[in-house]
Amino acid sequence: MSKQDGSSRHVTTGPVDDSATPILHVDMDAFFVSVELLKRPELRGKPVLVGGTAGRGVVAAASYEARRFGVNSAMPMSTALQRCPNAVVLRGDYSQYARYSKQVMTIFEELTPLVEPLSIDEAFLDVSGARRLHGSPAEIAWTIRRRVQAETGLTCSIGVAATKYVAKVASSRAKPDGMLVVPAADTIAFLHPLPVSALWGVGRVTEESLLRLGLRTIGDVAAMPHDALERAVGPALASKLERLANGIDPRDVHTTRVEKSIGHENTFGYDLTDPQEIRRELLRLSDNVAVRLRKAGLVGRTVVLKLRYGDFRTVTRSRTLGEPTDVARRIYDEASEALSELIGDGERVRLIGVRAEHLRVSGSGALLWDPDEEWREAERTIDEVTAKFGKGAIRPATLVRRSHDGRAQRADDAPKPPEGDSDAETAAAGWGW
């Protein structure tokens, strides 16, 4: 039995058929904010934001009280404060979030070994083999919510369903601090009334394309002739949306998570217009991405450039390499060529990001030739020097500036304008890509 309150919140309140629903999606409620409120209980019930507090900081997390004003994560902090001027802004402490995340994940792993973390504050669980010890999927979900609350003081929302996709949708409908079980037999009835934006892969642009076709609900998508849907969104996405709209998602819960991309980005305190300064920042970001690839033992086949102009227009360009790489020079060359297509004289740049995608383990698959061999050797030598003497002990000459008295100065040590959240890593939800 379930009920829906006056908002869009939908929760299970009594007995329900969970016999064929072994997949749980657990999502912490306003995680960063909730951790901060453990230290600042006097702020409960007030609009609270966590994120960059200087220059062009962005919102990493917003309390539900702040969200009522139209504030959400990734929004510029200046915009958030215009919408919610009474909000309390906290800089945040990522080390604390990581500590609580580890504690929560440990609770999951004590109930089932099949845990797939998606980010610092959410995970999929397969409880198929945990029934004998811990009860039915719904009972396990209740146990998780009770233990998380008792052991951390935090709350979470849980979706219980037959597939990962439906479980994730269900947890979002149960927020905050709720649980929703979707019986396997009720999957279609649950999905079809929902808006098309609830489909994975439907962002703002795709949603607009679907709305122009008169497709407002998931049920509308399921009923759409395949050819018409394919013309609107392309063959790959059309097939994916059709499967999801009919509740089909064959993916298993994987206990090992392979990074899909590694990226760094920087939002500047003022718009950059100097081409040399822009490309110097591009080189720095490319170097950071390459270092992380090598540390992880990965190479990337695709280089993605992200650019945000002074008027907030945001564009991305990707370039696929003949051979995957972990070399900064190659990453920079590809990103630089993409940059040349996007900026002209006097163009104002607010944000730059570089990302490597289509990752695979370094050395998996023999190369006929290695176009980056000399650069790779040099950069690995730099890695060794860095490990011994610290970051910045050696670097490309381009990243060395001169101070007013003529002394050499590392670019990342030079005086810079106030920044928001810079160099956010992909794994830090709400702080990076």
Binding residues for Mg(2+): 27, 121
Is 122 known to be catalytic?
A: yes
Residues in the chain: 433
Rounded Cα–Cα distance for residues 198 and 196 (Å): 5
266: CB partners within 8 A, 6+ apart: 281, 285, 351, 352, 353, 419, 422, 423
* The dihedral formed by the CA atoms of 371, 373, 375 and 379, expressed in degrees to the nearest 10: 140
Cα dihedral: 357, 358, 360, 366 (round 10)? -120
Q: Of 375, 342, 124, whose CA–CA distance to 254 is shortest?
A: 124
Handedness of CA 12, 14, 20, 22 (dihedral sign): positive
Spatial contact of 298 and 326, defined as CB atoms under 8 Å apart: yes
Contact of 169 with 150, CB cutoff 8 Å: no
Strand order in the sheet with 298-309: 261-272, 349-361, 298-309, 314-325
- Of residues 219, 168, 180, the one with CA closest to residue 196: 219
Binding residues: 27, 121
- Among 36, 65, 116, 122, which one carries the catalytic annotation? 122
> How many angstroms separate the CA atoms of 202 and 194, rounded?
13
Task: Please identify every residue annotated as catalytic.
Answer: 122
